[in-house]
Each structure stands twice: as C-alpha cells, then as structure tokens.
Structure 1
Amino acid sequence: MPTRPEMLVQLEAGLRSRFFASVPKITKANRQGWTEDQHDLDRLSRALAAYTIVGCCRVDDAVAVGAITDGSDDHGLDALFFDRARSRLVCVQSKFKRTGAAPSQEEVQKTINGLRALRARRFNEFNEAVRNRLDEIEEALETPGIRIELHMSFLGDAMGPHAADDLNGYAAELNLLSLLFEWHTSGLGVVYNWLALEQAPASVDDQVVLENWAGVNAPRKAVYGQIRAAALAGLVENHGQALFERNIRLYLGTVGVNAAITRTVREAPNDFFYLNNGITIVAESIAQAQGDQRQCTFALTNCSIVNGAQTAGAIATATLGGHLSQEAKLMVTIIEIGGVAGDLGQRITKARNHQNVVRGVDFAALDPNQERLRQELAAAGAIYFYRPSAEAFARRDGAFSLEDAAVALACLRFKARSAAELLAAEVARRPRPSNAIDFVTTAKKEIGRLWDQGGALYGQLFSADLSGVRMYRLVKIYRFIDQILAGSEGAESSYQRRMFFRHGRYFIMAFVAHRSLDVIEKPQLELSVEEQALLSQRTNQLSELIYSTSEPLQGYKGYLGIFRNLTDAQPLADTVLQRLAAEDVQPVARPALPPV
C-alpha cells in the first residue's frame, strides 16, 4: 500500500492528465489577482469535484466535467448530478488541500444553506453553472423517493467533529419520515481506491464453440477440442489484452514464429490444426449448452488464455488481410479453476509455458505484486509493462518495463554497506542487510538474476512495501544519471577512463543514491530542475572520487573484472565509504573574523 504522500502524488497526476484539458483556469473578476499556484489549486479542486462524480456515479469524465458548478454564488456546491438509476441527487463539496484539511464548519454551513436554497427552489440565488442544470435539478427534486446525497471530498480522512455534528443535525431535520438526505466523507483513501479499482483488469465472460470435443470431470472439469481460428480472432478483437490477463506474455507482434503462424493460417488453413500446438484457457467456471460431441457451445466465466498468446495474436493479425477460412482450426484446452483457486492458475500457466522457450522475466509476470504496481502507476498516468509485449519493446518517456525497473531498483534502492558492517551482522546472527554492492555486481555480471522470481534478489527488489510512485521515481533517476554517465564515457579520450564509465556505471549510481536520500525518498513522480542539478553535481563528484580510488587496482585487473566481481567491488566500496566518511568529518572552512 502506498504512503499518504504517494497516494496524493498519484491522485494529483491523474486529475491533471484527465481533467485539466477541460477544466480551464477561471479568469472572472473574483479570480483576478490570484497567483498561478492559487489558480492551479482551484483547478485541482474542481477536477476533484468532477472525479468524485465519476467515482460515486460511474459516469465518464466528460459527463462529470459537465456537472461542475464551482464558482462564485455556488453556495458551497461544487458539482451536481442527477443519478436517475439510483434515485439520488449527488452534490459535492471538494477541497484540494495537500495538508489534508477537511472543510471547515463555516464551509459546511455554507453548503447546508445552499442545499436549503436548492430545496426551496431559490434558483435565482445561484450562479449560471447551477442554473444551466435546472432541468435535471427540478426533475430530481420532484421525483418521489429521491434523496440528496452530499459528498465531502478532500485529501484527509475524517471531518471535524463540529462540522460532522452540523451535517448530522441537518440529516435529522430532513429524515423525519423518509431518507431524504445523507452525507459521506470521500477522503483521500476513498478517492484513491476509486482510482485503483479503475485499473483492475476487466473480467472476460464469453462463449466458445468447440468441435469434436471431449471432457473430464475429475479431479476438476476440463474440456478440449477444436476451435475455429476465426472464432478465436473474434475473442481477441472483442476483449483485447484482457483476454491474456493471466498469461506471462502478451502478443509480441509479427516477429519470428508469429509471422509464420499468420502466414500458415491464411495460406494453408487445412494444415493449421496439425502444425500448431494449440492454446490453453483457464476459466472460473464452464457451463455447457445443449449439443453433441460434434459441436457444442460453452459459456466461460472470467476466462484467460494462459498459453498461446502468440498464436491468438497472430491469428487476429491474420484477419487484417480478410476473412479466415472456416477450415482453419486449432486445438484448445479449457480448464475450470473455480473462483478461489489458490495457486492452481499459476501452476497451470507455468507448466504449460515451460514447453516453450521462456525467460525468467516472463514468469515474474505471475507475481501479483507486479499487477499492483501496474495499477498504481496507471492511476498516475504512467505505463508499466511487467509482461513482454510488442508495446513494451518501444522505450519512451512515461513508460518502462519490468527489466528497466529491476535495474533501477538494483542501483538505487539500497544502501552501500561496508564489509565490516556485513560481518558484524553475521557475528551477531542478524539477517544479512541488503547491500547495494551485491546488487550492482550481480547486475553487471548476470543481470537476469534480478528478475528471476525464484532467486534471492527478486523478492528484495520487488518487495510488498515497494510503491508504484517510488519505483517510477527511481526509474526516472536511473535514466537521468545513466545519460550523464553515458555522456562522460563518450567525452573521454583515455581508454582507461572510458572503460571506467562503461563498466562502473551501476557502481557509481549506487553511491549517488547512497549520498542522495534527500532526492531519492521524495514522493514525487518527476524530478525538479533543482534536483536534476543536484544529482548531476553529485554524479560528477562521486565519479571522480571512485575513479581516483580505483586507479591502483588497474595494475592487475581491468574495470570489467572489478565491477562484476564482489571480491573486488566490495573492497573498493569499503575504501570509497571511508573516504566519504572522512569528508563528512572535515571541519568546514570559515572566513577569518575582521580585526577588532
């Protein structure tokens, strides 16, 4: 679970990306003289009001923006929406205050008085934005059984006691005979959960027709038979990536064998069944329609293709060239895993995919922690690819892969520790503390071990307490420092110094992180100009310190050997740590006092 500052970062990023294009700065007379920061907070408050309508009423962003009534003479009502399906008039008062301060008692009283005016039909007291919604407001007020539902939306968790008493008093006043009014606190935790739920994968429920099929009932239900390639392409077209939610990889595009699959299904449809391995689907439940062994329809609940993403994607690609022959068929196995399946789905995915050429990073995609991180980042407008796909191959700003994250975490997440510190923990029989030097030497020597889910390093890198915001920031810092060090390598004329910057890059980063907790630990997505300048200065300074410390080692081993072996890198790290400690205790030079 992300920290409160990290939740706030994700929410703010989401509000800006989704609503700022349609929630402009207000330039009316009552806003004149405002600073840009005040206008920015005002836009965030109105965006929060709109998103509260989205979260409460499950409408799209454009509809919610149309419900904004914030402005002069809004009487404390920042958004209004008639939810006909649930017989309620939803009203919002929103406050975007990063301190988390809730609406004050005075602000709550203003809203209560606004609701009184609304119920009394004193519409002339309201601004134009409210009056523009009079048709739906009057319809709502005249609907029997309607209730007014007020949401106090802000960045804290609870209303103040006096403000809450006033709201409860107003509820008691109205609800003598029927439920006419209720109020809710939509604090940061509630709003963040709306964001997270939006990013959850959609459940795929659909039907498939199997030909020449058979099945088993024990120890669990499964059916297997032929499916037409055109029908499979239709599933992919209808559901997209959601159909591969439990797979270790998404479709990788028309590369290698995928191009051959596309060609075969079009040019040799009668042979396709014999040349293709088929696909495997898991489903929460399988329901059989009336049919015979020759052909039958099966309804699948919460289903996913766990093996055969490349086959399914290639067949869908083949349909771009025209309709597929009805003779093109392939084998499909469908296994019912139930609603509470434990690790059965993962075991099926692993077993079925071990028959193909896969990498350790592919199976890391089965870690539910990776999906949590993807959802957190998606809520903030960032794209995280933890499963290989065609999209993941294209490196661009605002998007990164599991491999990118693993290297950034290895270089920047952990403290550099001395051999003496590690030995002390061993003597005291304490768990060995995480040591940045372990990670950077592994990254240099055998980078695949970083994302091997069964290895000792993966769990430390992608631990349950790692948030999406922190991971994104570390990737940003990694990319920034990497550019600096790549530039330093390219600018050097000395072969020895070029090799230092090429092979020592991860090691240098570990020490930049060691000395930059003030930058690393901030819960922001982006780096400020000041932070970039600070990191650039420290990178250059530490590079020179590490280079001068490593020069004596050049007599017997090159930089590639030094930075990929712990037996060489750890003593070097010890010396660097000693030099940094000595710098820290040196007295600061002070200017001489003028003579008395």
Structure 2
Amino acid sequence: MSIARDAERFARQVRIALERDYEQHLDIADVAALGEAERTPRVRSRALSALAVRAVTGFTAENAAACVIDGGKDQGLDAIAITTNPAHVYLIQSKWSDTGKARLDRGAARDMIVGLDLIDQELFDRFNARGERLAEEASRLMFEEMAPATLVVALMGTDKPGPGATQMFEDARHKYNKNGPFLDVCYLHAEDLAQQVRADLAPAPLNLEVEMERWHKHDGLHESFQGIVRVEDIASWYQGHGSQLFHLNIRNPLGATRTNAGIVKTLLQSPASFWYFNNGITLLCDTIQARYRSQSAPQGGRVALTAVNASIVNGAQTVTAIAEAIKTDPGAAGHAYVSVRVIATQGVAAFAKDVTEATNLQNRVEPRDFVALDLVQSLIRDDLAAELDKEYTIKRGAPDPAPESGCSLAEAAAALACFHPDAAHSSRLTKSSELLWERGVRGTYDVLFRTRPSAHLVWRSVLTVRAVRAALHESRSTREGRAAALAQHGAYVIAHLTMQLLGRDDIEEPGCDWDMEVLQRVPETANAVLAWLIHHIDAECGESAQIGRTLADAAQVSKLAGLVLRDAGTAAAVPVLQAAYVKVPRPRKPRRPNTVPYLVTAQAIAEGTALVYDTPYSTEREAEELISWLAADPRRRQATWINDRKRPILWAADKTQYSPSGLIREMWRLAAWKKQPVANQGTTRWRIEGGETLWELALRLQSAEDSLENE
C-alpha cells in the first residue's frame, strides 16, 4: 500500500475517533456561528490537539479537551497540558488534513516558540482566558518544580517538518538548554495518532491474581511457577473477565462440545479425580509479582501471584467448563483443583508465540488457529473498528458478529480469495475452505494477507460475496441440471467473476457508494456470469463434464474465467440457458434423503465444528423479531455440530442438543414471537462458520452424487 493511501487511511481512522470521542468535550462557542465548511476543520483541528494531549499524557478524552486553547489569542499554541507526576509541561500545536497531507512550516514553528517565550516571561495576559490560566500554572511548575517542557507537533500527515521549521526548534533548544536539559521537541505524525486511536479501542491489559498451592518455582530463562489452584478461583477469573482471558490464545473456547460436557461431568460427579484427568492450564504474562506467606519457609504455604498483562494460552476449554460446573453446582465442583503454570515472558513476543503454539499441539488444532497469531489479523480488526465500526472475529470459537455488525476471519478470507484477480483461489475454495490457511509460496493465505488489505477492501468484498450468494439463491427456482449444480458448487467462482466485472477499481475508495454502484448490480451480473460460465464449460469441457470436478481444477477455472470476463465485459448478448437447464414443472422425483441423517452418515461435518445462526433464507419478519433477542446474548447465535441423527446441534445458550428445526422453534418461543410460522426449515438457518448452511452443504453433496450416477 502506498504512503499516500496509508496517510488517507490514518486520517479516516483518526477523524472517526475525533468525532466520536473528543468533539463533544470541546469549547466551540467562538466558532458556532460559522458555516459548516469553515467550522468543521477548526473543530477537527481542536479535537486533534486533544488527541495529541492524550497521546503524550494519558489524559481522558474529556480532560484532554480541557487543555485546548486554540482560538483568538492562543499565541501559536493549540493546547497546554500539564502533568504533576512526573512534573512536565506540554505545549501543543496541531495541523489537520482530511487527506493526511498536513505539514508544519517555519512560521508555525516560530509561533510555537513565541508562545513558550511568553510563558517563560510570565506574560500570561497575552493569552485568551483558558490559555492564561494554563500558562500561569505551567510557569509555576517550570519555576518551582523545575518541570521540563516539550513542544509537541501533531501533524495529520506523513512528511517531516521542513528544514526551516526544524532549525527554528533547534535554535530554541539551544537557547533554553544552556543551563541543563529543559526543552525537547516531539513529533506525532499520522501513523502515531492512528496508533493511539487503535490503542484506545483495545481492551486494557489484564492483571490476574493467582492463589497457588503445592507449588514450585522455575528460575530459568523465564521465571515461572507451577502448582494447583482451586477451580472456584478459576471460575471467578472467567466470571470477571470472560473471553479477555484468552486474548493471546490461538482460539477462543469452542463453546458447547462433548469434551467440555465431559469436563463438567467429572467436576460435578467426581471432583477429587479432576486433577488426574485434566492437562491443566498455561498462563502467560509479562511479569510475575509473588507474595509469599512465609519469607523464611515460602514453600510451606500458598503463594499469591499477580500475573501482569496475563492471558491463558492453553486450557481455554477447561476454564469455560469449570465456570459452567461452578454455576451448576458450586458445592460439588468447588472441591476440585486444577494444575496451573504461570510463565513470565518479559514481553518477548516471539517466546510467547512459541509457547502458545507448542502447548496447543496436544489438542486438535487447525491451521486457521495458528493464523490467528498473525499480527496482520489484529491490525485488520483494529482498522475495521476504527474506520467502519465493524467487528472482526479472528479466533475459532469466537462468536461470529451479526451480519450487519461485521464478519469473521473465515468469511473475510473467502471474500478476499474471490476478489483476487487470480481465479485459482476461488477455485480452491470449491474443494475446501481449509485451503485458505495454507502458508508459503504456493499457499493462499500469504497471497491474501501478505500486503495488509484495507478495511474497505475487506468489508466490501464480504458484502459482495454475500450479495452474490443471495442472488443465486433468489433465482434458484429457475434452474436445474448442470446450471443448478453450477450455482451450488460454483458460488465462489461466480462471486470472483462478478467482483472482477463490478468491483475492483473503487473498492478501497471511501467516498464510493458501494451499495448503489456495485451491490445493486450484483443480481443481474451474477446471473449473467452463471449463464456465460455454463456456456463456456459446455463448449470447452463438454456437456458431460462433471461440474464439481471442473470447478476444482484451478487451471481449467482460470481459462474459463478469462473467457467469461472477455465476453461478459462486452455488449454481447447473455447466452440463453438451454432447455435442459431451465426448470419446468415435472413429476416429483424421489424425495432426497433428510438433511441431518444424510450429513451424519456421510461424515460431512467434523464433530465439534462451530455453527452460527444466520438468516439468509429466513423472512424479513423473522429477522426483525429476533434481532434484539439475539443481540442480548451472543451465545444465542452459537452452536456446535454433534454427529447425532436426531439432535445434532448443541446450543451454546443452554448446552442442550436439538434438531435444527426444534432449536429454531425454541428460539422463536424464547424470543416471544407471537405470530411465528407453524413450520421452519432449520437446516437453512444454521451455517458452518465461514461456510455453507447445513441445507446448502447437503444439497451440494447430493447433487455431486447424482451427477456421478448419471455419468
């Protein structure tokens, strides 16, 4: 990504934060009567000054805004911030630019130094009312407590100040530092200010209290303690901190699973055996503060540890199962103990990553889990939150956001694969979404994420793929045979071609009206792409070529994609589907096998696979009735697949197994939907995380079998 694009991205992120967090606290009475075109940049510049104050002092947004003096008689200073512990004076000037091109010239630097000189000479009455009060307090601190001062230049741009401005600051440093260090200069550029915005969106570091018995200490390269901890203490961690406990883990707890159910059963029925049956918990932290019951004989009693900036990197399932058991019967489960290791990494990120990976190899870990440790994923999450106010779930086991609120890493990766100009990546998706996580020269993951995609690119790609899938579903009643199979197997390839035709040039432009310019054109384009694609498959591969096998051949798909883009990009008429591909009323065929027994028999879904409630096939009324009820508890959208022919869905909200339709009825009942339909197709409402609904998966597999039988 170019420096110019980076600067624009930083400016967008900062602008959103200024409007959301700072502008409400500013005194703007002197500019209230101005027109919007003149008022907005002044208010934004003042808010930027407040953000700069927060960046150098740690003040709250409200207290930082109180330091802003920008306006008439500000004497070249936009803000004066004072800290007392340690004593320090910050004199701030900010320059805003919507495009990230702000610069500081020689005159602005001179004005800042004039403001410093007036404070040093105690000419406080030269400032406006707020500036006079703050300048006097700054002078007192500088004289009585020998507080140093820093000139802070906050630029919404990436260019360094020019030589004229730099020389002005150097002359001032020479003047004020003759008798010892007093004056310094600090530059905050666009990236620094955006980093502060992202840091403010991140959760605060977690310090965890650990009471450990029968412990021993290891004084190797990294200080560590190992011992046993009461499970009721573990439950209190989860009750107080939730998923923040696992922020360094490769995945969040996977919700309701048979394994977790077994842990709960042991705790409730045989708590004394729990320590023997469980592998324990590994907790990483920056540093450990230990308090011994006895200094002369510390091993004789408990040790109280404070784990600074802590995270559980192995044992997430154990923690959540313990919390569930304590909630069910604290009297029984509370007698158990669990083994815990606490390791201090001293902030060494590479060591923390190695420990996280190594300790998770004993459990079933998928390639996606290790991808969650990639720094670029955290940066994408921060960008989506800062620029678009969207959620981005990275770890397997974390609940997918509501569709309107964001997306998961799995959905984003699939969408970016479709956006990529090489059709081979969307072809690979027809085989398995697991291919998204392959690393290395030939792997898809590094191609998609090596250069960090922007927030707009990620979100708009996701929206477009969703729109293509919805369009294909909407027109499904018009197709049959190979055309229907193409829509089932080739949704990602069709999405790729649709995006190449509609959405490449402006996808990263913030001002683009994506809904009007792209999404509204998706249905017509997607159906035209399908017609062109089946036309070229028949012509190139023959009308007997099996659709699924053809789409899984990356080289063949790349060739077909070139032909479709060549023809669909012209004014040529869209091919008319031949009669064999158009659905007409016919005698009913033998009924297809029921979805759930079919999927279980075919072993199509791995035990423990995460499912999410989604509404692509529900009515608009259903979505309206359930939206607030679902939002009240994220677990209501979560479930786990169990290979059970009758009740394959283990619902996270109550840890009970249901049939797909039975669970939907229960959800409608709990949501108090009084005018609910009599029947529902539950398999269309539960989706494999980042993939198809249960119904779509069964239909695709059954269609593939039919095609093979007819060959």
> Shared fold (TM-score greater than 0.5)?
yes
SS in 1 for 2:298: coil
Task: Check the 8 A contact 2:49/2:78 in 1, yes or no.
Answer: yes
Q: Distance in 1 between matches of 2:280 and 2:159?
A: 51
Partner residue in 2 for 1:430? none
Please tell me whether residue 172 in structure 1 is matched to residue 174 in structure 2.
yes
Give 1:517 deviation, angstroms: 3.2
Which string of whole-angstrom CA distances, capped at 9 and with x for unpartnered residues, describes residues 177-196 of structure 1? 34443332222243344446
Which residue, out of 449, 462, 467, partners 1:483? Answer: 467
Single out whichever of 569-578 and 539-548 deviates more from structure 2: 539-548
SS in 1 for 2:102: coil
Q: Distance in 2 between matches of 1:80 and 1:220?
A: 43
Q: Distance in 1 between matches of 2:403 and 2:466?
A: 15
Please tell me whether residue 505 in structure 1 is matched to residue 491 in structure 2.
yes
Single out whichever of 208-217 and 96-105 deviates more from structure 2: 208-217
CA 1:162–1:221 in structure 2 vs 1: closer, same or farther (change >3 Å)?
Answer: closer
Which string of whole-angstrom CA distances, capped at 9 and with x for unpartnered residues, describes residues 17-51 of structure 1? 35545415987565645344x43333332221111
Q: In structure 1, give the amino acid aligned to 2:314.
A: N
Q: Distance in 2 between matches of 1:342 and 1:156?
A: 28
- Cα root mean square deviation, aligned: 4.1
SS in 1 for 2:68: coil
Q: In structure 1, give the amino acid aligned to 2:111.
A: K
Partner residue in 2 for 1:70? 70
SS in 2 for 1:152: strand
Please tell me whether residue 385 in structure 1 is matched to residue 386 in structure 2.
no
Single out whichever of 273-282 and 144-153 deviates more from structure 2: 273-282
Partner residue in 1 for 2:44? 44
Please tell me whether residue 363 in structure 1 is matched to residue 370 in structure 2.
yes
Q: Distance in 1 between matches of 2:175 and 2:33?
A: 39
Q: In structure 2, give the amino acid aligned to 1:182.
A: D
Q: Distance in 1 between matches of 2:514 and 2:384?
A: 24
Q: In structure 1, give the amino acid aligned to 2:377.
A: Q
CA 1:453–1:234 in structure 2 vs 1: closer, same or farther (change >3 Å)?
Answer: farther
Aligned residues: 556
Partner residue in 2 for 1:278? 280
Give 1:77 deviation, angstroms: 1.8
1:437-456 matched pairs, under 5 angstroms: 437-452=423-438, 456=442
Partner residue in 2 for 1:569? 557
Please tell me whether residue 579 in structure 1 is matched to residue 580 in structure 2.
no
Please tell me whether residue 517 in structure 1 is matched to residue 518 in structure 2.
no
SS in 2 for 1:92: strand
Which string of whole-angstrom CA distances, capped at 9 and with x for unpartnered residues, describes residues 547-572 of structure 1? 23423645324655543443652332
Partner residue in 1 for 2:639? none
Q: Distance in 2 between matches of 1:287 and 1:530?
A: 52
CA 1:128–1:218 in structure 2 vs 1: closer, same or farther (change >3 Å)?
Answer: closer
Partner residue in 1 for 2:231? 229
Task: Check the 8 A contact 2:149/2:184 in 1, yes or no.
Answer: yes
Partner residue in 1 for 2:35? 34
Give 1:410 deviation, angstroms: 0.7
Q: Distance in 2 between matches of 1:27 and 1:345?
A: 47
Which string of whole-angstrom CA distances, capped at 9 and with x for unpartnered residues, describes residues 336-389 of structure 1? 575587866555544543443443322322334434444555554543321124
Give 1:283 deviation, angstroms: 5.5
1:92-111 matched pairs, under 5 angstroms: 92-97=92-97, 98-111=99-112
Single out whichever of 486-495 and 305-314 deviates more from structure 2: 486-495
Partner residue in 1 for 2:629? none
Task: Check the 8 A contact 2:279/2:339 in 1, yes or no.
Answer: no
Partner residue in 1 for 2:414? 407
1:79-228 matched pairs, under 5 angstroms: 79-97=79-97, 98-131=99-132, 133=134, 136-137=137-138, 139-154=140-155, 155-195=157-197, 206=208, 208-213=210-215, 224-228=226-230
Partner residue in 2 for 1:540? 524
Q: Distance in 2 between matches of 1:60 and 1:322?
A: 42
Task: Check the 8 A contact 2:284/2:311 in 1, yes or no.
Answer: yes
CA 1:254–1:105 in structure 2 vs 1: closer, same or farther (change >3 Å)?
Answer: same
Please tell me whether residue 313 in structure 1 is matched to residue 308 in structure 2.
no
Task: Check the 8 A contact 1:236/1:312 in 2, yes or no.
Answer: yes
Q: Distance in 2 between matches of 1:177 and 1:138?
A: 17
CA 1:179–1:360 in structure 2 vs 1: closer, same or farther (change >3 Å)?
Answer: closer
Q: Distance in 1 between matches of 2:88 and 2:344?
A: 40
Single out whichever of 51-60 and 222-231 deviates more from structure 2: 222-231
CA 1:56–1:285 in structure 2 vs 1: closer, same or farther (change >3 Å)?
Answer: closer
Q: Distance in 1 between matches of 2:55 and 2:353?
A: 32
SS in 2 for 1:231: helix
Query: Larger RCO: Structure 1 or Structure 2 (Cα < 8 Å, ≥ 6 residues apart)?
Result: 1
Q: In structure 2, give the amino acid aligned to 1:518.
A: D
Give 1:529 deviation, angstroms: 1.8
Which residue, out of 474, 479, 494, partners 1:495? Answer: 479
CA 1:53–1:389 in structure 2 vs 1: closer, same or farther (change >3 Å)?
Answer: farther
Q: In structure 2, give the amino acid aligned to 1:450.
A: L
Q: TM-score, normalised by structure 2?
A: 0.67
Q: In structure 1, give the amino acid aligned to 2:228.
A: Q
Q: In structure 2, give the amino acid aligned to 1:246.
A: L
Which residue, out of 446, 466, 475, partners 1:460? Answer: 446
Task: Check the 8 A contact 2:369/2:396 in 1, yes or no.
Answer: yes
Please tell me whether residue 550 in structure 1 is matched to residue 534 in structure 2.
yes
Single out whichever of 557-566 and 108-117 deviates more from structure 2: 557-566
Q: Distance in 2 between matches of 1:374 and 1:51?
A: 21
Give 1:309 deviation, angstroms: 0.8
Give 1:82 deviation, angstroms: 0.7
Which string of whole-angstrom CA distances, capped at 9 and with x for unpartnered residues, describes residues 73-106 of structure 1? 3232222211112322212111112252313333
Task: Check the 8 A contact 1:90/1:149 in 2, yes or no.
Answer: yes
Q: In structure 2, give the amino acid aligned to 1:383.
A: E
Q: Distance in 2 between matches of 1:442 and 1:581?
A: 24
CA 1:262–1:52 in structure 2 vs 1: closer, same or farther (change >3 Å)?
Answer: farther
Give 1:159 deviation, angstroms: 1.2
CA 1:99–1:13 in structure 2 vs 1: closer, same or farther (change >3 Å)?
Answer: closer
Q: In structure 2, give the amino acid aligned to 1:162.
A: G
Give 1:56 deviation, angstroms: 0.8
Partner residue in 2 for 1:331? 338
Q: Distance in 2 between matches of 1:565 and 1:456?
A: 15
Q: Distance in 2 between matches of 1:44 and 1:29?
A: 14
SS in 2 for 1:82: strand
Please tell me whether residue 12 in structure 1 is matched to residue 12 in structure 2.
yes
Q: Distance in 1 between matches of 2:403 and 2:515?
A: 21
Identity rate, percent: 21
Q: TM-score, normalised by structure 1?
A: 0.78
Task: Check the 8 A contact 2:226/2:340 in 1, yes or no.
Answer: yes
Task: Check the 8 A contact 2:271/2:332 in 1, yes or no.
Answer: yes
Q: Distance in 2 between matches of 1:142 and 1:175?
A: 15
Which string of whole-angstrom CA distances, capped at 9 and with x for unpartnered residues, describes residues 283-335 of structure 1? 66778744336755566566532221122134345666796679533332527
Structure 2, unmatched stretches of 5+, are 573-711
Which string of whole-angstrom CA distances, capped at 9 and with x for unpartnered residues, describes residues 120-150 of structure 1? 4444443344356467445435433123322
Q: Distance in 2 between matches of 1:477 and 1:239?
A: 33
Partner residue in 2 for 1:594? none
Task: Check the 8 A contact 1:211/1:293 in 2, yes or no.
Answer: no
Task: Check the 8 A contact 2:49/2:94 in 1, yes or no.
Answer: yes
Q: Distance in 2 between matches of 1:569 and 1:451?
A: 21
Q: Distance in 1 between matches of 2:161 and 2:213?
A: 61
Q: Distance in 2 between matches of 1:109 and 1:533?
A: 48
Task: Check the 8 A contact 2:148/2:182 in 1, yes or no.
Answer: yes
Q: In structure 2, give the amino acid aligned to 1:444.
A: T
Q: Distance in 2 between matches of 1:114 and 1:296?
A: 55
